[in-house]
C-alpha cells in the first residue's frame, strides 16, 4: 500500500474546505514551556517544517507563538494547529477558549482547531448535546475568520456520526493515536472514506516502538531509522504524521522520508505486528482528568 504522493515537507494534503495542510507536522505534546518549546519550534521551522501542532492542554501555546515569530518565516507560509480542552465545553466557553488560545499564541487566526477529546456517555448523558454545542462554537469562530479549518481528535465513528446530526460544517480532520503496533485502522479507513484527513499523534509510539526488532529489520533494508520508517508508514497510509523530538538532529532526520518507499510486503508486516506502544488513552474509557496531560 502506498497512498503517498508527497515529495517534500511543503507538499500538502487538501482539507474538505480546500485549505492546504503541510504533510508532516511538528508535534509539541510534552515539550516544556521553559524555553524548550520556543527553541524547538524555531529549529523545526529552520529545518523545513511548515506545520506545528500544539494544544491548550500542552501549556506551551505562548512559546509556540514565540518560536513561530523567532523563525522569521511569514505567517502565511506556516500552518498552526491547536486544540480545545475538555474543561471548556459548551458554546460560550468554547468561544472564550478560542480567544484565549489566539491570545496565548499571539496570532490573528488559527489554521486548524480541534476538539481534543469527545465528551462521552460515561462523562454525561447529554454528551451528544455537549459536543454539539462545543462544535457550534467552532463553526461560529470559523465563520468569523478566527479559524481556517476545524476538526476533532480522538473521535470514533459514533462520536462523529452524532456530531453530523446537528452540525452545519462537518469535521475536516480526525487526529488519533496511530503508529506501528497501534493503527486503529478501522477508524482510519472510516474517517478517510468520510472526507476527513486522519492525523497521527505519537507516530513513533512515543518512542516505545523504536527498539522493536521487526521494525529495526525493516528499517535497515531501506537504510533508514525506525523513526523514519514510522513517519513514512503513516504517509503511505494517507495519514499525516506529527512526530516530535527536542533534539535538533532528530527533528531534521524524522522528516527525511521522501527518498524511499516501503514495499507492500513490509507495509503488511507492519500492520501484522502485535499491539505495541499503545498509550492506553481511549475516549470511552478514560475519565477526563486522566487525560489532563494529554
Ligand atoms: P527526543 O525528544 O529525545 O528525540 P512521538 O512523536 O511518537 O510521541 O515520539 C516522541 C518520542 O520519541 C520522544 O521521546 C522523542 O525523544 C523520541 N524520538 C523522536 N524522534 C526520535 C528519533 N529519531 N530517534 C529516537 N527517538 C526519537
**Biggest distance spanned by C-alpha atoms of the chain:** 53
Atom of ligand 1 nearest to the CA of 250: 23
Is the pLDDT reported for residue 288 higher than 80? no
Work out the average pLDDT over 278-282: 90
Ligand 1 centroid, distance to 56 Cα (angstroms): 21
Ligand 1 within 6 A of CB of 219? no
Q: Which among 233, 250, 255, 278 is the best mutation to test ligand 1's pocket, defined by most ligand atoms within 8 Å of the CB?
A: 250
Question: What pLDDT does residue 42 have?
Answer: 98
Q: How confident is the model at residue 207 (pLDDT cuts 50, 70, 90)?
A: confident
List all residues 6 or more positions away from 204 whose beta carbon is below 8 Å from its beta carbon. Answer: 179, 210, 226, 227, 230, 231, 243, 254
Is the pLDDT reported for residue 154 higher than 60? yes
Ligand 1 within 6 A of CB of 228? no
Ligand 1 within 6 A of CB of 225? yes
Atom of ligand 1 nearest to the CA of 204: 7
pLDDT in tens, 264-277: 999 999 999 999 99
Question: What pLDDT does residue 208 have?
Answer: 85
pLDDT in tens, 135-145: 999 999 999 99
CATH no., domain 12-291: 3.20.20.100
Work out the average pLDDT over 80-102: 97
Residues in the chain, overall count: 294
Q: Write phi, then psi, for 63 (nearest 5 degrees).
A: -75, -30
> Which neighbouring-strand residues pair with 52?
26, 80
37-to-132, 164, 279 alpha-carbon distances in Å? 33, 36, 22
Ligand 1 within 6 A of CB of 224? no
List all residues 6 or more positions away from 263 whose beta carbon is below 8 Å from its beta carbon. Answer: none
Ligand 1 within 6 A of CB of 202? yes
> Which neighbouring-strand residues pair with 26?
52
Angle between helices 127-143 and 157-164 (to 10 degrees): 60
Amino acid at each position: 500500500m502506498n497512498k503517498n504522493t508527497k515529495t517534500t515537507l511543503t507538499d500538502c494534503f487538501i482539507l474538505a474546505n480546500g485549505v492546504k495542510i503541510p504533510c508532516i507536522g511538528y508535534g509539541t505534546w510534552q515539550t516544556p514551556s521553559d524555553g524548550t518549546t520556543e527553541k524547538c519550534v524555531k529549529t523545526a521551522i529552520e529545518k523545513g517544517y511548515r506545520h506545528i501542532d500544539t494544544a491548550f492542554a500542552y501549556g506551551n501555546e505562548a512559546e509556540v507563538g514565540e518560536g513561530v515569530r523567532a523563525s522569521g518565516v511569514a505567517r502565511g507560509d506556516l500552518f498552526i494547529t491547536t486544540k480545545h480542552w475538555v474543561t471548556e465545553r459548551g458554546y460560550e466557553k468554547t468561544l472564550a477558549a478560542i480567544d484565549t488560545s489566539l491570545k496565548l499564541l499571539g496570532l490573528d487566526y488559527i489554521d486548524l482547531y480541534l476538539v481534543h477529546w469527545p465528551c462521552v456517555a460515561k462523562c454525561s448523558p447529554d454528551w451528544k448535546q455537549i459536543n454539539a454545542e462545543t462544535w457550534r462554537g467552532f463553526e461560529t469562530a470559523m465563520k468569523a475568520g478566527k479559524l481556517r479549518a476545524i476538526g476533532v481528535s480522538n473521535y470514533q465513528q459514533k462520536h462523529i456520526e452524532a456530531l453530523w446530526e446537528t452540525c452545519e460544517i462537518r469535521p475536516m480532520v480526525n487526529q488519533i493515536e496511530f503508529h506501528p503496533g497501534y493503527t486503529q485502522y478501522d477508524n482510519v479507513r472510516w474517517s478517510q472514506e468520510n472526507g476527513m484527513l486522519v492525523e497521527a499523534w505519537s507516530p513513533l509510539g512515543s518512542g516505545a516502538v523504536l527498539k522493536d526488532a521487526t521494525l529495526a529489520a525493516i528499517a535497515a533494508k531501506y537504510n533508514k531509522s525506525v523513526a523514519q520508517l514510522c513517519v513514512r508508514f503513516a504517509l503511505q497510509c494517507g495519514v499525516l504524521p506529527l512526530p516530535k523530538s527536542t533534539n535538533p538532529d532528530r527533528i531534521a532526520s524524522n522528516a527525511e522520508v521522501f527518498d524511499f518507499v516501503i514495499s507492500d510486503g513490509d507495509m503488511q508486516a507492519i500492520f501484522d505486528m502485535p499491539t505495541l506502544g499503545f498509550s492506553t488513552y481511549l475516549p470511552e474509557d478514560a475519565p477526563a482528568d486522566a487525560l489532563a496531560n494529554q
